[in-house]
Every structure is written in structure tokens, then in C-alpha cells.
Structure 1
């Protein structure tokens, strides 16, 4: 399919500029609460290098009050949604929301509506939570001991251990009775698809119509215990693998109609786990968010699920900031690090948080090489979670740990930094560990009676698996280059 049709970046001076889009959306998000910050974002000439400061401002401004944080989220979402476009060759470009609102009566292309194929697994459901970790699977007391170890070392927040233990004590939650989870991104390394199917859940999933993708996935589905519902392109007599899937960027109206009819009589959980590089990630974020809005307008039984990237800016609980300060005071080679910090004019080995402030800290874990498109796409997820909670919609949300996914391995700078991260007390997880832990937190958030938190930052920080980034002695950005250099040296 064409990169210039379907869901597209808006035109700006005759070109589709993601930088112009990013500047405008961040400025609009800030305009109602911080006009000076909005002007700074709108006027930023070197967006691709200097975007981190503006994304940090979004978080810092939101700490002023819950109302401010919610307004930033609502205004940012409105700006993003109003700017993204739908383009069909031979027709005028229209707002994305308008195209989706037309419904599926007018097919995107020549195909008819998507149908559903259901695959029922033949295995026995797993009724004991197990988490793969370093060549073994942790269950029972072994898992509880590992959770304790992660908490002591500052790898996860203590309430993550509490949440996972609660799932252990309620194995009947694992199959998510009376709910269907729609996993957007069947092939996602961080998604919960395989865990949910092992636990016997009812799952629907969506990914591109690529036979090789479904050929790799469906044998596992059939041997697990769960039930999987797939969108089908047609009803011809062909193997399922050759008909499954749909393209969010070009088939969105048909997908919307397909989702409307999913799981009648059951609660529907919309889980967003799609990922792509660069501008494509922004287009996918727009498509999934438009689908979310459409679904929330049509059904009253919907919950949402998101994973936040650890390489972003977050407000963190005061105990996490205090832990970091204590580590900074007790750091080794103090004279050396102080000397390097002086020579770098404060750029290297900065303390993680100010020494005197006892409120929530702000940690900046942005890896600039990931780029502003990635961060804006992820920020849209955070804003939607905040906005949905304010409307009383259930949301499962977790900060995922640093993980050796394929996208990380492809990014040389990030891969090198992850390879050297252990020197600063940061643990990088394997995908199987991460996605199973995140699936367990999804189950917890959907099944446990979690009290409402006063401020959106507290919802975002709940049971975070940041890998140690929030509690390391140093500002993560100030040791990123050092971690990368030691990671490269270790490889060689």
C-alpha cells in the first residue's frame, strides 16, 4: 500500500512534515496552561534535536494540578486528531475523524466488509502465573523472591510486586472471564497475545495481511488454550493464513465496523501495541486513536490498555527520587565523577533529582536518537489514557521495562546504551520476560479493585517496571553517552 494514501500526515507548505505536526500539537497542548511554553514549542527551529525540552515541559506543567494535567491531555489529543488526514487518490483530502465517521458502508477499496474467523486452541489453560527469566520460568515462591530482588535493587516500583503477587493469589483472573481483549499488533514483541492465550482468554487480534506473519503465529494459537478471533479479507476457500489481517492505515473504516461487532455480550478491552519506525509510527498512532474514539462512542463496555515506553519523561513517586538521591550520595569514585561533571559543564553525571525538593520528582529518560515522532506517538497514548480515566473509562496502563526488542537492537545508539546500562544499576529485560509481566499487570488492572488516584501522574507511575531508570544515582540522560561507550567497549 502507498505511504501517501489512507491515514497521512497533514500537508504543511506543500509537504508532509512530521516536525511541523509535532511542534503544532505540543504547542496546542500547552497553549491553555503555559502560553510562553506553547510559543517556545511552536517557534522551535531545530525540532529534531531540541524536542526533549518541550516534552519535559508537558510533564512539568501538568504537575501544577490534576486539572492542568487533564487539560494538557485533552488539548493535545484534540490538536492531533484534528490535524491528521485521510487521503484517497482522486478525492480531496479530509480529516481522519470525518472519514472514520462515514462508517464502512462505503468500502475503502473494492473489498467488502471484513469477516471473522475463530481459532480455538486445544491446550489446557495455565492456571499458575509463570514468568520466563534468564532461561527458566519463575513460579510461586521463586517468582515472589525475584520480585523482592527487583524491588530492593530499584528495578521496579514496590507496587508492581504487590500487583503481580495479587494475580498469583487469584489465578482465576488469568483467563479474564467475561472479557475479550482486542490486541492491536499481533506480532508485537511487547504485546500480551501469547500469554493471554496460554491462560485461556478470549482474544481478538489485528495485524497486517501478511501470510508469513500468520503462518508463524497460528500454530502457537492452536496449541494454546485460548480462543482467537481474526479479521478475514474475504470468504474464499483458502488457508486462514492467506486471508487473515487488515491494514490500519488503509482499511480503517472496515476495521471499525469489524470491531463494532466483536464480543457481543462481553466486555471489550482495546489494547494498543502497534509500533513502526518514524513517520509511520505517528500515522499508526493516529489510526489507533481514531479507532479508540469511534469505539468509545459506540459501546459502553470498553476498557483501554497501553504500555508506556521507559525512555520518556515521567513524574515519579517521592520514595523513588529519595532512593536516587541516597545512591548519589553513596556513589563510588565521587572525585572522578565530580571532575568529569565539571569538565563537561554539568552535562555528565548530573544527580537524578534536586537535593532539596521532596515532592514528586521528574525524570528525563528520553533517548534523543529515538526521535520526536516516536515520543509524540507514545505521548498520544498517555494523553488518551488520562482523558479516558477522567471520563470514567477503565484503563490498564503500565510503564514497560527497557527491553531488547528488535527495534532496540536495530538502533545502534540505544542498543549500545542498553548494553552498558547495568553499570548504572539499570536492568534490561528480554522480550519474553517483559511481555509476560506486562500481561500480568493487564490482568491485575482489569480485575483488581484499584482505588482512584488523585493525580494523573500517579496513575502513570503506578506499578512501573522502569528497569532502574527512575532510581539510578544519575540523571539518565547525563550518563546515556557513557553507558553507550561502555556498551560498545564490552561488545568488542
Structure 2
């Protein structure tokens, strides 16, 4: 008999007794849609090509979410409830229901270790962009340029302008900010380390990972707080400490939840951990379980999420009615080429972006931006949807929630896929911009600060939302994906071809 893998796992399929992320995903989406469209749920249950057709059902979640302001809450509750049933936690070869996570035996005690950065430099913010550090007027001009080219939305520019105008917000010495996946390439660690934050870092117990985290914090003016399996003395050196620091989100889920709930300070929890494939769904559920438990124990806890632009979103109706000139007025050659390719491919390529407007019961109308990239797979889509659901529900229940759409970013996790790397390189062919990690980090860290410090931010539950989905569409930096003329995934192969040609042959547009 093979030994059961420890930690948070998908439940086994009732018929095959094998763990299947596809089966679990279908069950979760089915539960979310059950009361809204039973016919579509039946179609989903019988779906034979889930990996290709999953966007159909994710789009349905958004369509029904728009229709009624109560629907996103209903969808989130039902989806998260089923997700709890779709995972189990294994310890010592015993399976426990995920909802009983905090009742499992042998929850190990974690200890708190602190380390202070060595810099006395005052907090500052700039945007690294094309080998420049944009500050002041140059930063504001770049925001105007992105806005004019349809790369960002007005609310995104407004939020960053406010951060620029309020440098006092950058002093985070009174905040305790928890980073799940602290060493993540797309995370805000480097900026929090410059802003006097108390950084509670959660990452794998791996000395190489912790060397990176410690080095980053030591170069800044922040304080690092980390879980340790061993009680370390206050005078322990960084070199000694990194051998003992860290905790695994998938196997020490209960330990992390208990340790965080015992911290005396008010916490800001950021779900930024990423893993490949089905592990991404599992780590999202691990973070969700921890964040939900800590929030129950410490009701003043805030939550933070970063959304991918390659997803399906409700968007303001005027987005699709105000396409930038450089996209609206395409060259004749481009029009002829794309139309010809579309016809020859029987409309498989360069499918026209849907322009349907969806009315809501709040007397407003919305559109849908379908930017899913099939190659990223249904596990990625589900992992991000679970985070959106928790954000939507928590905000509805009165919790402070920062959730912002980040631009496509050339992180290692993305560029190790040759197709996506080439597509991002060639995205400019369709007036889409992919950002370098340093640029994205600076922007998204600033947005988090805005959401925590600006009393008027939609992250603040005291500010009324006219629709729950407006929390996610606000302050979006989608890199231009919301405004291209085509369904993004039907233009991807040609962006990739252009990217290959540009990188290998030096071809210019």
C-alpha cells in the first residue's frame, strides 16, 4: 500500500478513487451555478473536454454575477462551501475534513523570530520602467501615457496619483503585513522592506528562500517577523536563523493559522503564493483556510489579493465603447490580414471581441472582458476564482479587502512556458503591454498602500459598492487586454509568432 501524501489534497473521485483536480473543479463550479442555471450545470457535469471548454462555465459565473447584486455573494458562498468539501487534510496517514483543520491532532507550536533592517533611509516610491526610475512629474506623465493607450483604467491612475501625493502613507511602521509566499517574484516584499513595514513572512523552510528574504529586509528599514520551528535567541544571527525559519502552506496549514491568530497585532494578510498546476489550487485553498480562520479569531484583519489579467471579468460598459484611437483606427493592411486569417480558419483566429452589454438590477449595465488564455489551464482559473470569491464575500461581510488586477508580467513562472513568453514579447502587436516584474511590484505594492490608507478606497467596507463585482474591476491595470478588438486567446498564436520573430530575428512591427 502506497503512503498517503501529507497535507492538503484533493478528495478522491467517488468512482475511480483517484484524486482529480478536474472532477473537483467541476463540482465547485457546479455548486456555484446550481441555483442559477441547472441546465448549464448538467452540461458541465457531462463535459468531456474540460481543459478546452472551461472558459464557457467561468464566463457563466460572471454573466450571472452581473444580473443581480445578490448573485456574486450567493455564488461565492456556494462555491467556497463546495471547495471546503473538495479537499481533505492528511496527517500521519489519516484524512481529515478541511473544515475540521484546526481540530487535527499534533498541531506543532511555531515560534516568532524577528530581525530588523539596517537602513535608516526614509520611505520612498518610484516606478522602475525601461531602465528608469520614474518619480514626480515623470511618473505622472507615464500614468497619463498608459491611460491614453488603454493600458490602465482611470481609477488605477487616480489611486497611484494619490500615493504619489501622500508620501506619508508609505510609512508602514504601524502595520503588520503577512505575505504568504513572501519570496514570490510578483510580490511586494522589496517595497515593504523600504517602507518600515513589519513583514510577517510565510514561505517554505528552505535556507535559500530565507536567504533571499533576509537579505531583502536587511537592506531596508523594515522589520522581519518569521515563524520558526525552534525557539531562537534574540541575538541569533541571520545565518543561524535561516536554517530554522519557514513553514509549508500545504503541510503546516493548521500550524500557520494558529500561529498567526496568536500574534497580538492587527494583521493585513496577502495571498500571493503561487505554484504550478493543481498545486496552485491547493495552495489557494490553504491560504483561504488560514485567512478565514485568522479573520474569525481577529475580526479586524484585512485581506489582499492580486488578480491576473488573463481571466474573465465584469467591466464597466463604457470600456468597450471607448476604444483608444490606435486600436480603433487599425491600418487597412491589418484589417485585411486579420479578416482573411479569421475566414480561412473558420473564425478560430481573430474572433471579434464580444460587445454585449449586460443590465443589472442596480440600474447599471456592464460588459464582460474574456481574457482567459487556454494554455494557463483550468487549475489556474479555479485558483484565482477561489480568491475572488473570498474577497467578494469578506468585503460583503464588512472586512477590509484589497483586490486589484495586476498586468501581465514576465515572471519566471510565466516565461518558462515558451508560448506564453513569445506571446508576451509580441503582445505589443495588439497594443497590449506586458510588464517586467520590478514594474509590476512597484505598482501593486503602491495600490495595496492606497487601499489601506485612503479612507475613500473601495477596499474600505464603509464605502458602499453599487455592485459587489465593482470591487474587482476598480483600479485595474490589465495591460490593454480589456480593450483589444479580438478575443485575446484567438490572437495569442499570432502574438507568439511575432514575439518569436522579434526576439530571434530582430523583426520590428
The equivalent of 1:184 in structure 2 is 180
The equivalent of 2:28 in structure 1 is 25
Q: Does 1:72 align with 2:68?
A: no
CA contact (8 A) 1:417 1:481 kept: yes
In 2, the alpha carbon distance for the partners of 1:322 and 1:448 equals 30
Out of 37, 47, 53, the residue aligned to residue 44 of structure 1 is 47
Q: Does 1:161 align with 2:157?
A: yes
Out of 216, 221, 228, the residue aligned to residue 225 of structure 1 is 221
CA contact (8 A) 1:115 1:235 kept: yes
In 2, the alpha carbon distance for the partners of 1:5 and 1:458 equals 39
Q: 1:141 to 1:210 in 2, by over 3 A?
A: same
The equivalent of 2:171 in structure 1 is 175
The equivalent of 1:315 in structure 2 is 314
The SS at the match of 2:452 is: helix
Q: TM-score, normalised by structure 1?
A: 0.94
Q: 1:286 to 1:429 in 2, by over 3 A?
A: same
Q: Offset of 1:125 from its aligned partner?
A: 4.2
In 2, the alpha carbon distance for the partners of 1:90 and 1:76 equals 28
The equivalent of 1:257 in structure 2 is 258
The equivalent of 1:331 in structure 2 is 330
User: Where do residues 18-417 of structure 1 align in structure 2 (5 Å cutoff)?
Assistant: 18-91=21-94, 93-100=95-102, 102=103, 106-108=105-107, 112-235=108-231, 239-262=240-263, 264=264, 266-324=265-323, 329-332=328-331, 333=333, 334-354=335-355, 359-417=365-423
Out of 488, 498, 505, the residue aligned to residue 486 of structure 1 is 498
In 1, the alpha carbon distance for the partners of 2:298 and 2:357 equals 48
In 2, the alpha carbon distance for the partners of 1:169 and 1:345 equals 52
CA contact (8 A) 1:321 1:360 kept: no
In 2, the alpha carbon distance for the partners of 1:257 and 1:464 equals 34
CA contact (8 A) 2:125 2:135 kept: yes
Corresponding pairs, count: 482
The equivalent of 2:486 in structure 1 is 474
The equivalent of 2:473 in structure 1 is 461
CA contact (8 A) 2:174 2:197 kept: no
In 1, the alpha carbon distance for the partners of 2:338 and 2:240 equals 61
In 2, the alpha carbon distance for the partners of 1:220 and 1:284 equals 24
Q: Offset of 1:473 from its aligned partner?
A: 2.3
The SS at the match of 2:269 is: strand
RMSD: 1.9
1:62-96 Cα deviation digits (max 9, x unpaired): 111110121111111111012210112342x2211
Q: Offset of 1:329 from its aligned partner?
A: 4.6
CA contact (8 A) 1:421 1:427 kept: yes
In 1, the alpha carbon distance for the partners of 2:42 and 2:370 equals 22
In 2, the alpha carbon distance for the partners of 1:428 and 1:123 equals 32
In 2, the alpha carbon distance for the partners of 1:274 and 1:471 equals 29
Q: 1:30 to 1:325 in 2, by over 3 A?
A: farther
In 2, the alpha carbon distance for the partners of 1:15 and 1:82 equals 16
CA contact (8 A) 1:367 1:477 kept: yes
**Can you give the 5+ residue segments of structure 2 that lack an aligned partner in the other structure?**
360-364, 458-462, 505-509
In 1, the alpha carbon distance for the partners of 2:368 and 2:304 equals 24
The SS at the match of 1:360 is: strand
1:312-350 Cα deviation digits (max 9, x unpaired): 111112232113386665222323322222222222223
The equivalent of 1:428 in structure 2 is 434
The SS at the match of 2:81 is: helix
Q: TM-score, normalised by structure 2?
A: 0.91
CA contact (8 A) 2:6 2:93 kept: no
**Can you give the 5+ residue segments of structure 1 that lack an aligned partner in the other structure?**
none
The SS at the match of 2:193 is: helix
Q: 1:239 to 1:177 in 2, by over 3 A?
A: closer
CA contact (8 A) 2:356 2:367 kept: no
Q: Does 1:419 align with 2:420?
A: no
CA contact (8 A) 1:128 1:168 kept: no
CA contact (8 A) 1:324 1:470 kept: no
In 2, the alpha carbon distance for the partners of 1:326 and 1:136 equals 27
Comparing 234-243 with 152-161, greater Cα deviation is found at 234-243
CA contact (8 A) 2:173 2:195 kept: no
1:28-83 Cα deviation digits (max 9, x unpaired): 11001121222222221111221111111111111111101211111111110122
